[in-house]
Amino acid sequence: MELEVKIDSPSKERRRIENQKLKNEWNVCCSKSSKECIKYGSQMVVAVIVLAFSMIQIATTGDEKEIYFSLISFILGVLFPHPTLDSKK
């Protein structure tokens, strides 16, 4: 039994690489950015807005502040990784 390895032409391979690159890049505001960067930035903007809103509500409202403390602790818990002991250092 002989195995056949099919090699695409260089133009097809180049087109495949370009398509893969286009899948990982998004055009936003007249610039090309990686989709991971855009997702990270949008998540950070939403987190900062929720934190600011919660802090303002805690400072201005008189009662029922528990939900805002819960929002703050949830956002901070998501943003900061859990502590670990690294024995290699």
pLDDT over threshold 60, residue 34: yes
Which carries the bigger pLDDT value, residue 7 or residue 86? Answer: 86
Q: Which residue has the tokens 């370009």?
A: 18
pLDDT over threshold 90, residue 54: yes
Interval 19-39 mean pLDDT? 73
Q: How many CB atoms lie within 10 A of CB 26?
A: 15
Interval 59-77 mean pLDDT? 89
Q: How confident is the model at residue 69 (pLDDT cuts 50, 70, 90)?
A: very high
pTM of the model: 0.62
Residue-by-residue DSSP string for 29-68: TTEEEEHHHHHHHHHHHHHHHHHHHHHHHHHH-SS--HHH
Q: How confident is the model at residue 41 (pLDDT cuts 50, 70, 90)?
A: confident
Q: How far apart are the first and last CA of the chain?
A: 52
C-alpha distances in Å from residue 9, one per residue of 18, 25, 34: 14, 25, 28
pLDDT over threshold 70, residue 67: yes
